[in-house]
Structure 1
Amino acid sequence: MDFPMVQSSEVRRDIWLFSIQSVPKKKGRLVGLDRRTWSVPPSSAPPPFVDPEVLTAQLKDKDDRIYLLQIQMAAQQAGYEAQRRLNQQMMEMMQRMYPNEVFLDVPDP
């Protein structure tokens, strides 16, 4: 029995074996047998057309996200400052309560 599928898989195997034997290797990897990536257009092809409205919407979305992150970071920084002031007040109170003790000055993060 001669099956076409077996024949084509045998041919593919033979081609693969031939390419393994004849292609130079560099650090254990085959050199020059890379598949063409179709997601990257050739350099001579014009860039794909993108609707300016889509680009504008994407930029606005990005600006909105940046603005929200800035607000979040400002709130976080204000929280750090409040915690730092509280820690400083507690250290002053501890030094007043225990004047003979030496407290280590722990740097703020």
Structure 2
Amino acid sequence: MARSLLCRGVGVFQLSRAVPQLSAARYCSHTEPEPLTVRQQSSGIRRIILNNPKKRNALSLSMLESLRENILTDADCDDLRVIVISAKGPVFSSGHDLKELTSSQGREHH
């Protein structure tokens, strides 16, 4: 008889009896992905933190959109005096995510 393992609705995998006991935690991630940017605000100072150190905070299109959203949110608020952009990890940013640059999308896309 086969055993079933369900991982957060991703799918059902059949495991034969020959396979030793498996822990779902070893094979399935149960954590939500971390946001690309983190916004904190206190005493008129908004801090936006680039939060993708595994990719050296590369400026992918999704990172740029998240950054834009964090900058523009309540930008006209009287309490906001300054926006500081910093980064998590050893580098601020490696620049644009070159893996996104493809000839099929053209220059206008980027």
TM-score strictly above 0.5: no
Query: Per chain length, whose mean CA-contact separation is higher, i.e. which structure has more relative contact order (CA < 8 Å, sep 6+)?
Result: 2
Q: Which has the higher strand share?
A: 2
Answer with 1 or 2: which has the greater Rg: 1
| Structure-1-length-normalised TM-score | 0.22
- TM-score normalised to structure 2 length: 0.22
